[in-house]
Amino acid sequence: MCFTMKSNKASLYRGINLKVGEFLVNRLIPASTLGSVGAIVFLDHIYPVDLRHDSSSFPTGNYAHPHRGIVTFSYVLSGSLSHYDSRGNHNIIGAGGLQWMKAGNGIIHDEKPFIMENDEPIFHSLQFWVNLPGEAKKEEPEYMALQAVDVPEAQLPDHGGTIRILLGEFGLWASPIPTFNHEFIYHLSLNPHSSFSFSPRKDDEVAVFVTASEVDVNGIVLGNSKMLLMEEGIKEIVFQNDKINAADILIFGGKPYNEPIVAEGPFVMSSYADIATAYRDFFAGAYGSINLSWVR
């Protein structure tokens, strides 16, 4: 599937509801008219769900699945999330933490949302996929996790809130997570009755996603799990929060991805022949398997 996203005006995306495992999600990317924002080819918003009944970090294995050709990027807004994969990586992150997995030439992973003893009972998260350049799709898988305290965070002027640099660079701050196509993901927490002006880099493709509370984005009211794809060449994005609660805003994108994109199931490759190879290698057992015994 190939898409063109260039536009002379901002475009609103509401997403579609899907059931992923046991969870209801809103899938914003891909959409019928949008395949990517920069190298970001996938965005699922996992709606808030009460998991106070579930304190186990161990997956059942029923939802373990493969990936190839992409990076998976999970960001937890509340609750906790465990990770297991076929390369022996395992970690647990809490609210404000993130997990980055470069699938490269093939890996199987499983993620388990749950609630720790001191967590608030609601699990709420986002998952992005970042498309790798063709050569990086051949590389060995890698995994990295950051807890909330490890994520760079800057204070906004005039007590306006904070901006967390989940991926990429922002001014003097940079996430330790690797990037491949100048991709970036920022979490803006905008205080009540506050504003913030953001100037994208020249030629970047940029989208804005608001999880719940509504904010004004260049004169457009955005919120409640909706995404705004900004117009090509935009020089300034002004966020205005006139509510009495802080607003959570995700700003993401990067340089245009100029290689062929062919996506099918959990694989994103450069051709249908590459997709066929990805499936063939998976069914041949080339991605390994998850062994939970060593962490129990």
DSSP state of 56: -
In a domain, 47, yes or no: yes
Report residue 109 CA to chain centroid gap.
Answer: 16
Dist. CA 26–CA 44, nearest whole Å: 6
Q: Look at residue 156 in the predicted model and tell me its pLDDT.
A: 96
pLDDT in tens, 227-255: 999 999 999 999 999 999 999 999 999 99
In a domain, 104, yes or no: yes
Instruction: Report the CATH number that the domain containing residue 36 is assigned in CATH.
Output: 2.60.120.10
Cβ atoms of 183 and 168 within 8 Å: the answer is yes
Specify the amino acid at residue 164. R
pLDDT in tens, 265-274: 999 999 999 9
In a domain, 159, yes or no: yes
What's the domain range around 33? 11-283
pLDDT in tens, 129-144: 999 999 999 999 999 9
Cβ atoms of 149 and 121 within 8 Å: the answer is no
pLDDT in tens, 119-132: 889 999 999 999 99
In a domain, 295, yes or no: no
**Paired residues of 216 in beta bridges:** 221, 240
In a domain, 240, yes or no: yes
Specify the amino acid at residue 119. D
Dist. CA 52–CA 32, nearest whole Å: 36
| Count of domains for the chain | 1
Write down the pTM of the prediction.
Answer: 0.94
Give every strand in the sheet of 237-241, ordered side by side: 194-198, 237-241, 215-217, 220-222
pLDDT score of 2 more than 70:
no
In a domain, 288, yes or no: no
pLDDT in tens, 72-105: 999 999 999 999 999 999 999 999 999 999 999 9
In a domain, 294, yes or no: no
In a domain, 262, yes or no: yes
pLDDT in tens, 16-57: 999 998 899 999 999 999 999 999 999 999 999 999 988 888
Dist. CA 81–CA 57, nearest whole Å: 7
The radius of gyration computed from the CA coordinates of the chain, to the nearest angstrom, equals 19
